[in-house]
Amino acid sequence: MNSIEYKEFYDKVGKTNGWNFSNVKCISEGVKWDFYNEVSKTCEKSDILLDIGTGGGEAILAIANSALLLVGIDQSTGMIETATKNSIKSDIANVRFLQMDAENLNFPREFFNVVSSRHS
């Protein structure tokens, strides 16, 4: 699959249902931690968090009370559309979603206190 086909696939999946793996029934052997639980423990209430490859945004919406502001970015239009819908449904005020390529960030230097990236 070339990069254009991959982006088209990713946009289609994102628009359809996001990248939410929370309902996948699986068993992880030997795993004793949860990525976003660790991220939330790292954050101070005054921090600004950037989540790269946020997908449908479910994970950072779930930890929204961990930081002052949480910004989720994803390169996929479909993913950001899903994340925005999830944000509106959740009525959480301190989370924002932006379509952006992680290799070309448009933020001031040292703007974020914490950066997370689980699936990118």
State the pLDDT at residue 17.
61
Tell me if 69 sits within 8 A of 107, measured CB to CB: no
State the pLDDT at residue 3.
60
* Residue 98, Ramachandran bin (φ over 0: left; ψ between -120 and 50: alpha; else beta): beta
State the pLDDT at residue 13.
67
Token pair belonging to 28: 């992880």
Q: What is the pLDDT of residues 68-111, one digit of tens each?
A: 999 999 999 989 999 999 999 999 999 999 999 999 999 999 99
State the pLDDT at residue 58.
94
SS3 for 73? strand
pTM of structure: 0.80
d(CA 70, CA 50): 6
Q: What is the pLDDT of residues 39-76, one digit of tens each?
A: 999 999 999 999 999 999 999 999 999 999 999 999 99
**Buried/exposed 45-81: b ≥16 CB within 10 Å, e otherwise:** eeebbbbbbbbbbbbbbebbebbebbbbbbbbebbbb
Token pair belonging to 53: 């490859």
Is a pLDDT exceeding 70 seen at residue 30?
A: yes
Q: Of 36, 79, 81, 44, which Cα lies nearest the Cα of 60?
A: 36
State the pLDDT at residue 25.
72
State the pLDDT at residue 42.
96
